[in-house]
Structure 1
């Protein structure tokens, strides 16, 4: 028996004893009110049992904004619900943090109510909001009906992604000989020719096509091609010490900012990480903002985990048809230099750490 019901019954018995010994009219009034309340509360809860339909309306949030979700509750019974309690769990797929929220409201008979639920402050990631338990109570909590619900919704909290100040000289470490070139867009790489035109003042002497200049009798210069695909790879270290959740967010922001910067410089590249749910290293080829947006969702949907293994070993042991020649490694590891020793046998490696970069 619930504590609240025991207290209520004790008060009722006290009033009955008081009336028997004093025949006090106020005591009989309290007895009648108490009995009527108990009967009506029991009938109300019994009549409304599982006659309520629930739904969660989707919401897509952005980091640093006030996110909300909306629960739609329909009372299909003919009696009011005095206390309607919904337990909602919020799980972050990236950090695996779990937060419980409780909504306490009332429902009118044969009416629908939209309940505005404030989402708790959470770090970036794919958030699953799930209704785990529903309860119907009377005002004093004497009677209660509980049942579980399987109703959830997912939304994204996007990390802070910025365009980093990375100039072409900083990116010159990558093996440009491995690039494929555009046939429709000119660029600055003279190793491949987009077209030929007459020399104009200011053109680089290195761009002069001496053979054709001699043939046409006037100076001709090469129009350099634009690289559209390279063989370099961004690797995200998703290992986690189990304590510093803020570092997960900072690492994710750095990795995605690097990727965003590259795609907006019209680079084509690959990005990847070890997926602890699928237990394999995954690759995403990025050649457009659309590819980048899809990869962001995939990255935010899989967790960081505590792991004593090496991400670079996971990568080198994975199968891929790509032959990467250059790498950007985003990590928090204190022994990152040692971890990339074997990776350097396959190409140039540059290490980025969130505490050093952002």
Structure 2
């Protein structure tokens, strides 16, 4: 195949000028040999293109704005040199819907391989799909190219940043006694369970003194109360695009940061919770988050977007009716989810970049936030 087409007129015009103004015999001989050289170069590229293999790899997780690090490995198994391999790299953010392309060119001797390091910046978080789009092997002159069947693919997740989020006591403290599990690493306020016994330190409450052990060891000993592990809170990531609308990519980025910051704030308070998200064509995924590692492992799925949210087909309605959750937070973009009428345990956090209207007044069950001011708007949340 001839590619790119605009090179041919330039090449033919150059030959014509040389024929008109070039007077040397050597130059004329070279002009006669040019078609043969072009044919030979094209034949070598065609043969080499049949035995090219590609492999694309990247890190599973990457910080935002520092770039997605990837490596493209190219191997030439043919006895012919690979003069020009043109690989159009495609980067797709599945959360925001953004797509970018980048051209990578490489040449290889016969029976050799080469690794090309790539760093692609990402302004927004989300699951990133890296793939090799159109791959062609071109001749020495860049006039004729041939398709290469080999393809590469890799997935990485750009992590969101977080911001301080203060949790205000509300519904959740009413269900402390329902938990039968206690945090082995942190003390709490449940005096019915002992976290640990230690020596008295300045500032400890006198009611925590363990008098029997104090008498036995002749030193003030303190009984630290336990911290119940609560699993009755659900955090729903619904980061799909509402049908018929196209929110700005910054909205998805802000919603993801809000959801992850809320989950992190819950962990800081010792609140074990469940995160959930809808998959593209399957059931709702649920993960129990007990520590920051559990949260990180959930993000590749939660930040994958999964296309459009079509009204009337949300599986989230099943979660809103689930009796095992005493508190539910749902984070969405563009259009708020609709809990059942009279539901007071669910709070919907919805990110939008459009001007707020009369119907956008925040309430106890619906909080709007903007992608530029969300840290201030969500600084305090009642749990």
Please confirm whether the aligned pair reaches a TM-score higher than 0.5, indicating the same fold.
yes
After the TM superposition, which of the residue ranges 150-159 and 113-122 deviates more from structure 2? 113-122
Question: Which of 221, 245, 263 matches 1:259?
Answer: 263
Q: How is 1:317-356 mapped onto 2 (pairs within 5 angstroms)?
A: 323-332=324-333, 339=339, 341-344=341-344, 351-355=366-370, 356=377
Structure 2 counterpart SS, 1:180: coil
Unaligned runs of 5+ in 2: 211-220, 349-363, 371-376
Q: 1:235 to 1:174 in 2, by over 3 A?
A: farther
Q: CA deviation at 1:246?
A: 0.7
Match of 1:111 in 2: 112
Q: CA deviation at 1:95?
A: 2.6
CA distance, structure 2, for counterparts of residue 56 and residue 202 of structure 1: 58
> Are residues 1:70 and 2:74 paired?
no
Q: CA deviation at 1:152?
A: 0.9
- The answer on whether the counterparts of 2:171 and 2:327 sit within 8 Å (CA) in structure 1 is no
The alignment's TM-score, normalised by the length of structure 1, stands at: 0.76
Match of 1:303 in 2: 306
After the TM superposition, which of the residue ranges 148-157 and 75-84 deviates more from structure 2? 75-84
After the TM superposition, which of the residue ranges 245-254 and 167-176 deviates more from structure 2? 167-176
**Structure label with greater radius of gyration:** 1
Per-residue displacement from partner, 1:250-288 (whole Å, max 9, x unpaired)? Answer: 00111011111212322111122333332x333221222
Match of 2:39 in 1: 39
CA distance, structure 2, for counterparts of residue 183 and residue 155 of structure 1: 33
After the TM superposition, which of the residue ranges 127-136 and 88-97 deviates more from structure 2? 88-97
Q: 1:191 to 1:346 in 2, by over 3 A?
A: farther
Match of 2:93 in 1: 92
Structure 2 counterpart SS, 1:260: helix
CA distance, structure 1, for counterparts of residue 267 and residue 224 of structure 2: 23
Match of 2:238 in 1: 237
- The answer on whether the counterparts of 2:90 and 2:102 sit within 8 Å (CA) in structure 1 is yes
- The answer on whether the counterparts of 1:276 and 1:303 sit within 8 Å (CA) in structure 2 is yes
CA distance, structure 1, for counterparts of residue 289 and residue 278 of structure 2: 17
Question: Which of 265, 272, 278 matches 1:268?
Answer: 272
Match of 1:215 in 2: none
Match of 1:214 in 2: none
From the two aligned structures, give the one with the greater helix fraction.
1
Structure 2 counterpart SS, 1:148: coil
Unaligned runs of 5+ in 1: 210-219
- The answer on whether the counterparts of 2:182 and 2:227 sit within 8 Å (CA) in structure 1 is yes
Match of 2:290 in 1: 287
Structure 2 counterpart SS, 1:283: strand
CA distance, structure 1, for counterparts of residue 94 and residue 332 of structure 2: 19
- The answer on whether the counterparts of 2:236 and 2:277 sit within 8 Å (CA) in structure 1 is yes
After the TM superposition, which of the residue ranges 243-252 and 183-192 deviates more from structure 2? 183-192
- The answer on whether the counterparts of 1:229 and 1:269 sit within 8 Å (CA) in structure 2 is yes
Match of 1:25 in 2: 25
- The answer on whether the counterparts of 1:187 and 1:227 sit within 8 Å (CA) in structure 2 is no
- The answer on whether the counterparts of 2:64 and 2:122 sit within 8 Å (CA) in structure 1 is no
- The answer on whether the counterparts of 1:54 and 1:71 sit within 8 Å (CA) in structure 2 is yes
Per-residue displacement from partner, 1:123-150 (whole Å, max 9, x unpaired)? Answer: 2122121123321112433321113333
> Are residues 1:177 and 2:180 paired?
no
CA distance, structure 2, for counterparts of residue 159 and residue 14 of structure 1: 58
CA distance, structure 2, for counterparts of residue 296 and residue 15 of structure 1: 61
RMSD: 4.1
Q: 1:14 to 1:334 in 2, by over 3 A?
A: closer
Structure 1 counterpart SS, 2:63: coil
- The answer on whether the counterparts of 1:132 and 1:148 sit within 8 Å (CA) in structure 2 is no
- The answer on whether the counterparts of 1:233 and 1:269 sit within 8 Å (CA) in structure 2 is yes
**Greater length-normalized contact order (CA 8 Å, ≥ 6 residues apart):** 2
- The answer on whether the counterparts of 1:329 and 1:352 sit within 8 Å (CA) in structure 2 is no
Structure 1 counterpart SS, 2:253: helix
- The answer on whether the counterparts of 2:48 and 2:80 sit within 8 Å (CA) in structure 1 is yes
CA distance, structure 2, for counterparts of residue 11 and residue 239 of structure 1: 53
